[in-house]
Amino acid sequence: MKLRQLIITLTLALLPFTALAAPATEITWYGQSAFRITTPTGKVLYMDPWINNPANSKGKEVLAAIKKADLIMVTHGHFDHVGDSSEIAKKTGAQLVASFDLGKAMVQYGGFPEKQFGFPTTGNFGGEISLLDGEVKVAFVQALHSSSIEPPDDSKYPKGLQYAGNPGGMVVSIKNGPTIYHTGDTDLFSDMTLVKDFGKVDIMMVCIGDRFTMGPRRAAMAVRLVDPELAIPMHFGTFPILTGTAPEFIAEMKKTSPSTTVKVLQVGETFSWPQKKLTMQTK
Protein backbone atom coordinates (compact mmCIF):
# COMPACT_ATOMS: atom_id res chain seq x y z
CA MET A 1 0.00 0.00 0.00
CA LYS A 2 2.80 2.39 0.92
CA LEU A 3 4.63 1.52 -2.31
CA ARG A 4 1.54 2.30 -4.34
CA GLN A 5 1.11 5.67 -2.63
CA LEU A 6 4.78 6.44 -3.26
CA ILE A 7 4.41 5.69 -6.98
CA ILE A 8 1.32 7.89 -7.25
CA THR A 9 3.05 10.72 -5.40
CA LEU A 10 6.12 10.55 -7.64
CA THR A 11 3.99 10.42 -10.78
CA LEU A 12 2.05 13.52 -9.80
CA ALA A 13 5.24 15.32 -8.84
CA LEU A 14 6.82 14.62 -12.21
CA LEU A 15 3.82 15.65 -14.31
CA PRO A 16 4.83 19.34 -14.59
CA PHE A 17 8.33 18.36 -15.72
CA THR A 18 6.90 15.95 -18.29
CA ALA A 19 4.68 18.71 -19.68
CA LEU A 20 7.61 21.10 -19.91
CA ALA A 21 9.66 18.50 -21.73
CA ALA A 22 6.93 17.73 -24.28
CA PRO A 23 8.01 18.49 -27.86
CA ALA A 24 6.95 21.91 -29.11
CA THR A 25 5.85 23.22 -32.49
CA GLU A 26 8.42 25.59 -33.98
CA ILE A 27 7.45 28.45 -36.29
CA THR A 28 9.88 30.51 -38.39
CA TRP A 29 8.98 33.62 -40.38
CA TYR A 30 10.97 34.43 -43.54
CA GLY A 31 9.28 37.70 -44.43
CA GLN A 32 6.12 38.49 -46.42
CA SER A 33 3.78 35.50 -45.85
CA ALA A 34 6.40 32.75 -45.76
CA PHE A 35 6.61 30.45 -42.75
CA ARG A 36 8.21 27.14 -41.81
CA ILE A 37 6.31 25.07 -39.26
CA THR A 38 8.02 22.11 -37.61
CA THR A 39 5.60 19.78 -35.83
CA PRO A 40 6.31 18.08 -32.49
CA THR A 41 7.40 14.91 -34.34
CA GLY A 42 9.68 16.79 -36.74
CA LYS A 43 7.52 17.07 -39.84
CA VAL A 44 8.33 20.22 -41.82
CA LEU A 45 5.67 22.38 -43.46
CA TYR A 46 6.34 25.45 -45.60
CA MET A 47 3.55 27.99 -46.09
CA ASP A 48 3.62 30.47 -49.01
CA PRO A 49 7.37 29.87 -49.20
CA TRP A 50 8.84 32.95 -50.85
CA ILE A 51 12.07 32.48 -48.92
CA ASN A 52 14.37 34.53 -51.12
CA ASN A 53 12.48 37.83 -50.86
CA PRO A 54 13.64 41.45 -50.50
CA ALA A 55 13.00 41.49 -46.74
CA ASN A 56 15.19 38.44 -46.16
CA SER A 57 18.84 39.41 -46.53
CA LYS A 58 19.87 35.76 -46.09
CA GLY A 59 17.13 34.38 -48.31
CA LYS A 60 19.41 32.90 -50.96
CA GLU A 61 21.49 31.06 -48.37
CA VAL A 62 18.44 29.88 -46.40
CA LEU A 63 16.82 28.54 -49.55
CA ALA A 64 19.98 26.71 -50.60
CA ALA A 65 20.25 25.12 -47.14
CA ILE A 66 16.75 23.59 -47.16
CA LYS A 67 17.11 19.80 -47.13
CA LYS A 68 13.81 18.61 -45.69
CA ALA A 69 10.18 19.46 -46.33
CA ASP A 70 7.10 17.26 -46.08
CA LEU A 71 4.38 19.65 -47.24
CA ILE A 72 4.34 22.89 -49.21
CA MET A 73 1.16 24.90 -48.61
CA VAL A 74 0.21 27.71 -50.99
CA THR A 75 -2.80 29.99 -50.53
CA HIS A 76 -2.97 31.54 -54.01
CA GLY A 77 -1.06 32.01 -57.24
CA HIS A 78 0.69 35.35 -56.88
CA PHE A 79 4.47 35.28 -57.16
CA ASP A 80 5.06 36.38 -53.56
CA HIS A 81 3.16 33.33 -52.28
CA VAL A 82 4.06 30.62 -54.79
CA GLY A 83 7.58 31.89 -54.25
CA ASP A 84 10.22 29.17 -54.16
CA SER A 85 7.75 26.28 -54.03
CA SER A 86 9.04 24.47 -57.10
CA GLU A 87 12.68 24.65 -56.06
CA ILE A 88 11.92 23.36 -52.57
CA ALA A 89 9.72 20.58 -53.97
CA LYS A 90 12.38 19.38 -56.39
CA LYS A 91 14.99 19.23 -53.63
CA THR A 92 12.87 17.59 -50.96
CA GLY A 93 10.04 15.63 -52.60
CA ALA A 94 7.47 17.61 -50.59
CA GLN A 95 3.81 17.31 -51.58
CA LEU A 96 1.79 20.36 -52.60
CA VAL A 97 -1.18 21.40 -50.45
CA ALA A 98 -3.38 23.86 -52.33
CA SER A 99 -6.70 24.17 -54.09
CA PHE A 100 -6.85 21.75 -56.99
CA ASP A 101 -7.03 24.53 -59.60
CA LEU A 102 -4.05 26.34 -58.12
CA GLY A 103 -2.06 23.11 -58.02
CA LYS A 104 -2.78 22.40 -61.69
CA ALA A 105 -1.67 25.92 -62.59
CA MET A 106 1.55 25.57 -60.59
CA VAL A 107 2.35 22.34 -62.40
CA GLN A 108 1.44 23.68 -65.83
CA TYR A 109 2.89 27.18 -65.63
CA GLY A 110 5.20 27.20 -62.64
CA GLY A 111 7.26 24.05 -63.02
CA PHE A 112 6.03 22.31 -59.86
CA PRO A 113 6.77 18.54 -60.09
CA GLU A 114 3.59 16.85 -61.31
CA LYS A 115 4.21 13.69 -59.30
CA GLN A 116 4.13 15.76 -56.08
CA PHE A 117 0.64 17.12 -56.75
CA GLY A 118 -2.67 15.30 -56.68
CA PHE A 119 -6.00 14.61 -55.03
CA PRO A 120 -4.60 13.31 -51.70
CA THR A 121 -3.22 16.74 -50.77
CA THR A 122 -5.57 19.16 -52.55
CA GLY A 123 -9.07 20.42 -51.83
CA ASN A 124 -11.34 23.44 -51.98
CA PHE A 125 -13.33 25.74 -49.72
CA GLY A 126 -15.39 23.92 -47.14
CA GLY A 127 -13.19 20.84 -47.37
CA GLU A 128 -10.78 19.45 -44.82
CA ILE A 129 -8.00 16.96 -45.47
CA SER A 130 -5.94 14.80 -43.13
CA LEU A 131 -2.24 14.51 -43.95
CA LEU A 132 0.89 12.78 -42.67
CA ASP A 133 -1.05 9.95 -41.04
CA GLY A 134 -3.36 12.35 -39.26
CA GLU A 135 -0.65 14.53 -37.77
CA VAL A 136 -1.78 17.55 -39.79
CA LYS A 137 -5.28 18.57 -40.82
CA VAL A 138 -5.94 21.40 -43.26
CA ALA A 139 -9.24 23.21 -43.76
CA PHE A 140 -9.57 25.40 -46.85
CA VAL A 141 -11.25 28.74 -46.14
CA GLN A 142 -12.11 31.75 -48.25
CA ALA A 143 -10.21 34.98 -48.80
CA LEU A 144 -11.19 38.19 -50.55
CA HIS A 145 -8.38 38.73 -53.05
CA SER A 146 -7.38 37.50 -56.52
CA SER A 147 -5.24 34.66 -57.83
CA SER A 148 -3.23 34.28 -61.01
CA ILE A 149 0.10 32.89 -62.05
CA GLU A 150 2.53 34.14 -64.68
CA PRO A 151 4.67 31.68 -66.66
CA PRO A 152 8.43 32.39 -66.63
CA ASP A 153 10.07 34.04 -69.62
CA ASP A 154 11.40 30.72 -70.94
CA SER A 155 8.00 28.99 -70.74
CA LYS A 156 6.35 27.44 -73.78
CA TYR A 157 3.13 29.15 -72.72
CA PRO A 158 2.18 32.69 -73.74
CA LYS A 159 3.27 35.50 -71.47
CA GLY A 160 0.67 37.06 -69.21
CA LEU A 161 -1.42 36.14 -66.22
CA GLN A 162 -3.06 32.72 -66.17
CA TYR A 163 -5.98 31.45 -64.09
CA ALA A 164 -4.86 29.94 -60.78
CA GLY A 165 -8.04 29.10 -58.92
CA ASN A 166 -9.62 31.23 -56.20
CA PRO A 167 -7.57 32.80 -53.40
CA GLY A 168 -7.91 31.31 -49.94
CA GLY A 169 -6.60 30.87 -46.45
CA MET A 170 -5.85 27.72 -44.50
CA VAL A 171 -6.61 26.50 -41.00
CA VAL A 172 -3.86 24.06 -40.07
CA SER A 173 -4.42 21.84 -37.03
CA ILE A 174 -1.34 20.06 -35.71
CA LYS A 175 -1.63 16.99 -33.51
CA ASN A 176 -0.38 17.82 -30.01
CA GLY A 177 0.26 21.34 -31.29
CA PRO A 178 -1.53 24.55 -32.20
CA THR A 179 -4.33 25.31 -34.62
CA ILE A 180 -3.02 27.97 -37.01
CA TYR A 181 -5.09 30.20 -39.29
CA HIS A 182 -3.02 31.62 -42.17
CA THR A 183 -5.25 34.23 -43.80
CA GLY A 184 -3.42 34.35 -47.11
CA ASP A 185 -3.97 37.73 -48.77
CA THR A 186 -7.41 39.07 -47.95
CA ASP A 187 -9.65 41.90 -46.90
CA LEU A 188 -11.72 41.80 -43.76
CA PHE A 189 -14.99 39.91 -44.17
CA SER A 190 -17.65 39.05 -41.63
CA ASP A 191 -17.57 35.28 -42.19
CA MET A 192 -14.13 35.15 -40.60
CA THR A 193 -15.99 34.80 -37.33
CA LEU A 194 -17.11 31.32 -38.44
CA VAL A 195 -13.52 30.05 -38.34
CA LYS A 196 -13.55 29.94 -34.55
CA ASP A 197 -16.93 28.18 -34.50
CA PHE A 198 -15.23 25.03 -35.80
CA GLY A 199 -12.55 25.08 -33.11
CA LYS A 200 -10.33 27.40 -31.12
CA VAL A 201 -7.63 29.14 -33.18
CA ASP A 202 -4.37 29.38 -31.26
CA ILE A 203 -2.32 31.37 -33.78
CA MET A 204 -3.57 33.72 -36.50
CA MET A 205 -1.07 34.75 -39.17
CA VAL A 206 -2.69 37.92 -40.47
CA CYS A 207 -1.80 40.18 -43.39
CA ILE A 208 -1.44 43.86 -42.44
CA GLY A 209 0.42 45.55 -45.32
CA ASP A 210 -2.49 47.54 -46.84
CA ARG A 211 -2.87 48.43 -50.55
CA PHE A 212 -3.31 44.81 -51.73
CA THR A 213 -4.63 43.36 -48.45
CA MET A 214 -6.01 44.55 -45.15
CA GLY A 215 -4.16 47.34 -43.43
CA PRO A 216 -3.53 47.43 -39.66
CA ARG A 217 -6.99 48.67 -38.68
CA ARG A 218 -8.96 46.14 -40.69
CA ALA A 219 -6.51 43.38 -39.71
CA ALA A 220 -7.15 44.10 -36.03
CA MET A 221 -10.88 43.87 -36.68
CA ALA A 222 -10.30 40.50 -38.38
CA VAL A 223 -8.45 39.27 -35.31
CA ARG A 224 -11.37 40.34 -33.15
CA LEU A 225 -13.69 38.15 -35.26
CA VAL A 226 -11.44 35.09 -34.97
CA ASP A 227 -10.33 35.64 -31.35
CA PRO A 228 -7.05 33.69 -31.42
CA GLU A 229 -4.66 33.48 -28.50
CA LEU A 230 -1.81 34.90 -30.57
CA ALA A 231 -1.70 37.11 -33.69
CA ILE A 232 1.39 37.25 -35.92
CA PRO A 233 1.40 40.09 -38.49
CA MET A 234 2.67 39.26 -41.97
CA HIS A 235 2.72 40.59 -45.54
CA PHE A 236 4.31 43.91 -44.61
CA GLY A 237 7.69 45.60 -44.88
CA THR A 238 8.74 43.78 -48.05
CA PHE A 239 8.14 46.66 -50.46
CA PRO A 240 7.74 50.41 -49.81
CA ILE A 241 4.25 50.26 -51.33
CA LEU A 242 3.10 48.08 -48.41
CA THR A 243 2.58 50.91 -45.95
CA GLY A 244 1.00 49.01 -43.03
CA THR A 245 3.39 48.59 -40.11
CA ALA A 246 3.64 46.40 -37.03
CA PRO A 247 3.47 49.35 -34.57
CA GLU A 248 0.25 50.53 -36.23
CA PHE A 249 -1.16 47.03 -35.96
CA ILE A 250 -0.24 46.78 -32.28
CA ALA A 251 -1.90 50.14 -31.60
CA GLU A 252 -5.09 49.02 -33.36
CA MET A 253 -5.05 45.68 -31.54
CA LYS A 254 -4.93 47.42 -28.16
CA LYS A 255 -8.14 49.24 -29.10
CA THR A 256 -9.92 46.42 -30.91
CA SER A 257 -8.67 43.05 -29.62
CA PRO A 258 -6.83 43.54 -26.31
CA SER A 259 -7.42 39.92 -25.26
CA THR A 260 -5.21 38.63 -28.09
CA THR A 261 -1.43 38.76 -27.76
CA VAL A 262 0.56 40.16 -30.69
CA LYS A 263 3.92 38.67 -31.56
CA VAL A 264 5.96 40.52 -34.18
CA LEU A 265 8.59 38.20 -35.58
CA GLN A 266 11.84 39.39 -37.06
CA VAL A 267 12.73 37.93 -40.45
CA GLY A 268 14.38 34.58 -39.78
CA GLU A 269 13.18 34.40 -36.18
CA THR A 270 11.89 31.11 -34.76
CA PHE A 271 9.66 30.70 -31.75
CA SER A 272 8.20 27.65 -30.04
CA TRP A 273 4.60 26.90 -29.17
CA PRO A 274 3.46 26.64 -26.48
CA GLN A 275 5.37 29.42 -24.77
CA LYS A 276 5.53 29.72 -21.00
CA LYS A 277 4.15 33.24 -21.02
CA LEU A 278 2.81 35.45 -23.79
CA THR A 279 2.75 39.22 -23.38
CA MET A 280 1.50 41.91 -25.74
CA GLN A 281 4.32 43.61 -27.64
CA THR A 282 4.40 47.38 -27.32
CA LYS A 283 6.35 48.37 -30.43
Of all residues in the chain, the percent with pLDDT exceeding 90 is 86
Residue 88's H or E segment, with its range, is: helix 85-92
Phi-psi region of 18 (alpha: psi -120 to 50; beta: other; left: phi over 0): alpha
Burial per residue of 194-212, b for 16 or more beta-carbon CB atoms within 10 angstroms, e otherwise:
ebbeeeebbbbbbbbbbeb
State the number of CA atoms in the 13 A half-sphere of 57 facing the CB. 2
Note whether residue 272 is domain-resident.
no
Picking from 283, 281, 272, the residue whose alpha carbon sits closest to that of residue 202 is 272
User: Is 14 a member of any domain?
Assistant: no
Say what the pLDDT of residue 19 is. Answer: 45
pLDDT at 2: 53
| Residue 12 counted as domain residue | no
Helix (H) or strand (E) holding 122: strand 122-123
Supply the DSSP string of 143-197, one letter for each residue.
Answer: -SS--EE---TT-SSPSS-EE----EEEEEEETTS-EEEE--S----GGGGGGGG
Measured CA to CA in angstroms, residue 102 lies from 79, 149, 240 at distances of: 12, 9, 28
Q: What is the pLDDT of residue 21?
A: 57
Q: Structurally, how many domains does the chain consist of?
A: 1
Q: What are the residue ranges in the chain where pLDDT is below 50?
A: 1, 6-8, 10, 14-15, 17-19
In this predicted structure, what is the pLDDT of residue 278?
58
Q: Is residue 207 part of a domain?
A: yes
Within a domain: 281: no
Residue 199 backbone class (left: φ over 0; alpha: ψ -120 to 50; beta: rest): left
pLDDT on residue 17: 45
Q: What is the pLDDT of residue 154?
A: 83
User: Does 103 fall in a domain?
Assistant: yes
Q: Is residue 215 part of a domain?
A: yes
Q: What is the CATH number of the domain that holds 186?
A: 3.60.15.10
pTM of the model: 0.91
